[in-house]
Amino acid sequence: MRRFTADDACLLLARLRERTPLVQCLTNAVVTNFTANALLAVGAAPAMTDIPIEADQFARIASAMLVNLGTPHAEQRAAMLEAARAAHEIGTPWVLDPVAVGVLSVRTQLAADLLAYAPTAIRGNASEVIALNGSGHGGRGVDSVDTAEQALDAAGRLADRYGCIVAISGATDLITDGTDVIRLSNGHPYLTQVTGGGCALGAITAAFLAVGDDRLVATAAATAVYTIAAERAAVGAGGPGSFAVAFLDALASVDGAAIRASIAMS
């Protein structure tokens, strides 16, 4: 098994803050502001460029890209396909977040079309990952009805088929390249009670992929930093509202000492 350590996460976080990668986000209307703020807090630069023609142009200058299928209206669907094609052509790392795939027909077909452009990483909940592999029908809207461990076989098949990393969110997050599996058990339930709590992780993952040479390690590092920040934010939060604000502060302040003290791997 390939090793992932706290030092990997510390190194990549420091590199991200030094380089300030430019992350293009074609994401859903509900989470745009939270996602942009999360990127800024961790040290990246967001660009919410998601209209046709410009999406292609920007994908060619961005450091990395997120495609999130949360609210895929017609114009955005066209932009997503052209941006993914451009990223694939020039080797820009990009993340696919297949929100509610398997449950709804338009986004399910869109996800299938996007897979042709070889995402660097796929990040979703267990039911989305299973559905994307064609072995299930999705969850309950954006909520998973499966566990991360139940989705591991589907994740491995996706990783092998498309040469990508697959990250499955859950109480224990699983990150795999089809051979190795990294398990991380940080985080807090408040993340599931804040709009964008899951979606923003796709953008953070893209930022880490922009500065990491090993895609599996970079994806794991993004998950570790994000979920450790959530734990730190929850300590003084009175509920999901105050947590959302504290979480942005925690993303901005999380450092190597916090990572080494808190990372939970199994």
Supply 195's token pair. 């709009």
Q: How far apart are CA 60 and CA 149, in angstroms?
A: 36
Q: How far apart are CA 41 and CA 246, in angstroms?
A: 11
Place of tokens 């703020």: 37
Q: Is 130 exposed, middle or buried (0-12, 13-18, 19+ CB in 10 A)?
A: buried
Supply 140's token pair. 């309950």
Which strand (E) or helix (H) includes residue 123? strand 121-125
Note the Cα 117 to chain centre separation in Å.
17
Supply 97's token pair. 């977040």
Ligand-binding annotation for 48, yes or no, is yes
Ligand-binding annotation for 196, yes or no, is yes
Q: Minimal CA–CA distance to 220: which of 171, 156, 165?
A: 165
Q: Is 232 exposed, middle or buried (0-12, 13-18, 19+ CB in 10 A)?
A: buried
Ligand-binding annotation for 169, yes or no, is yes
- Binding site, annotated residues for substrate: 48, 196
- Binding site, annotated residues: 48, 123, 169, 196
- Binding site, annotated residues for ATP: 123, 169
